[in-house]
Amino acid sequence: PVLVVDFGAQYAQLIARRVREANVYSEIVPHTITADEVAAKEPVGIVLSGGPSSVYEEGAPRLDPAILDLGIPVLGICYGFQSMAVALGGEVAQTGLREYGATDVTLAEVESTLLAGQPGSQTTWMSHGDSVSKAPAGFDVLASSASTPVAAFASDERRLYGVQWHPEVKHSDFGQAVLENFLHRAAGIPADWNSGSVIAEQVARIQAQVGSGRVICGLSGGVDSAVAAAIVHRAVGDQLTCIFVDHGLLRADERAQVEKDYVAATGIRLVTVDAEKQFLDALAGVTDPEQKRKIIGREFIRSFEEAAAALVLEASGSDDSEPVKFLVQGTLYPDVVESGGGTGTANIKSHHNVGGLPEDLQFELVEPLRTLFKDEVRAIGRELGLPEVIVGRQPFPGPGLGIRIVGEVTHERLELLRAADKIARTELTAAGLDGEIWQCPVVLLADVRSVGVQGDGRTYGHPIVLRPVSSEDAMTADWTRLPYDVLARISNRITNEVAGVNRVVLDVTSKPPGTIEWE
């Protein structure tokens, strides 16, 4: 792999993704990694990320300098560039001059692999206070900016490189080209990592792990579990059974999509559990969001376990009667990194989907997407032949519509919300806006009523909230500026067609401070 050393900013994940966009596999490692640990991973290249510290600060993260002597090509970015400069005997100055945002740099007239083929002046994205004031001995200075004499340096001989700017950020005009020059030209890494190679590698891994054992997978209807199950199915065929718990909190057509389109495309064995009554009984009278989430999670596990046990009973006497040993989970790379599995930085948030199961469960986990980002999972799903209605789906929370009704969840309210949600989704798709929005929760304010006039009479109905957001990873989000005519059409249709709703409102809050979902 190419190792991305994380110095504690949000940039490491972005760098890892850009490296993969250059068709090279990358992994994130903490900055506390030692040269021996690096060597053990046999990387073909190393990228040092930016970070929020100043290299001379007490307690500032440091790089094991021996990493630079391993003979592995290294590219330092921003803080990584500065820590390289210090480790190699150059100098970093606290100039007091900050560069933030779009910054012009001028390339020096020096031959260099790193910036080969790039225009002599270009716009880059910077974010730093300190600057490299002197390049290490034997290094060429490749670029400068108004307040930074050394904005990039290189030693082609030692294959060590650094840039002050952030090539991983799209606002750096030739950023991706810098990364690709480093990976392909300087480090000589072939561009051969792609969805096809991932599938082949995972299939072999799963076969080795599972052998002839039985495997189950909880399908949520979402992209991750669907793709995870499809890879496992490719690896072990009918040793896999999927369990789909219909908790009654799904959107319109969702169950049919899984039962019909997904099974048709994959041939996977599927058991659907009808659990609406069980879930709604458990949710009766509950309005607190956290309590709802806990109840839904608990009931989910309960019905999942029951289904798994029934599966084994049903098959008793046949080859299928041996106990299920493996459970497939659609865990993604950001979940692993954010749970402290990759970075050594703080645990931002312990992810667990409603499909997540307690640790004392007697299954061994199969996690074929553990090293992948969401967009890569989609690409793999397409490669595996999954239909676009599944692969292109926007994220939908495991607790479903249960956390999109502010107030008590009842069958009647779910029907109402399903109708409104279907109208919003249909109109957004018809307007060609699916690519622009990350997701658009539709929320029913069941505890709020307002006065309206419909037909000849007064109404006293509930508002529906539209929450369209744009995001790269759901960690932060902005509200999407939808065209007024599309909003008008959705509002008209919902108030006309959904009885009990007499008002449609738009949520114009970014995240932070609002979360994407209302509960």
Chain contacts with ligand XMP (rule: CB under 6 A)? 353-354, 395, 397-399, 439, 474, 511, 515-517
CB of 399 to ligand XMP, least distance (A): 5
Active-site hit among 31, 78, 254, 338: 78
- Cβ atoms of 253 and 422 closer than 8 Å: yes
Task: Say how far apart CA 157 and CA 175 lie, in whole Å.
Answer: 23
Take residue 79 and report the two structure tokens written for it: 């803080």
- Compare residues 341 and 395 and give the one whose CB is closer to ligand XMP: 395
* Cβ(201)–Cβ(1) below 8 Å: no
Least distance in Å: CB of 114 to ligand XMP?
37
Q: Which is nearer to ligand XMP, 271 or 474 (CB)?
A: 474
31 as an active site residue: the answer is no
Closest contact distance (angstroms) between CB of 480 and ligand XMP is: 14
Give me the DSSP letters along 18-65: HHHHTT--EEEEETT--HHHHHHT--SEEEE---SS-TTSTT-----G
Q: Can you say which residues are annotated as belonging to the binding site?
A: 220-226
**Which residues are annotated as part of the binding site for ATP?**
220-226
Rounded to a whole number of angstroms, the minimum distance from the CB of residue 249 to ligand XMP is: 11
Catalytic-residue membership of 78: yes
**How many CB atoms are located within 10 Å of the residue 369 CB?**
26
Please check whether residue 296 is in contact with residue 249, taking contact to mean a CB–CB distance below 8 angstroms. yes
440 flagged as catalytic: no
Reduced to 3 states, what is the DSSP secondary structure of residue 86? helix
Q: Minimum CB separation from ligand XMP for residue 518, in Å? A: 8
Cβ–Cβ contacts within 10 Å for residue 491, how many? 20
Distance from C-alpha of 404 to C-alpha of 441, rounded to nearest angstrom: 8
| Cβ closest to ligand XMP, residue 161 vs residue 279 | 279
From residue 329, alpha-carbon distances to 326, 334, 354 in Å are 10, 14, 11
Rank residues 90 and 399 by Cβ distance to ligand XMP and give the closer one.
Answer: 399
Q: Which is nearer to ligand XMP, 173 or 519 (CB)?
A: 519
Name the minimum Å distance from CB 225 to ligand XMP. Answer: 9
Q: What are phi and psi of 56, to 5 degrees?
A: -90, -5
**7: which DSSP letter?**
-
The residue among 8 and 397 lying less far from ligand XMP, judged by its C-beta, is 397
Rounded Cα distance, 134 and 157, in Å: 19
DSSP 303-320: HHHHHHHHHHHHTTTSGG
Q: Which of 99, 168, 180, 376 is catalytic?
A: 168
Catalytic residue numbers, as ranges: 78, 166, 168
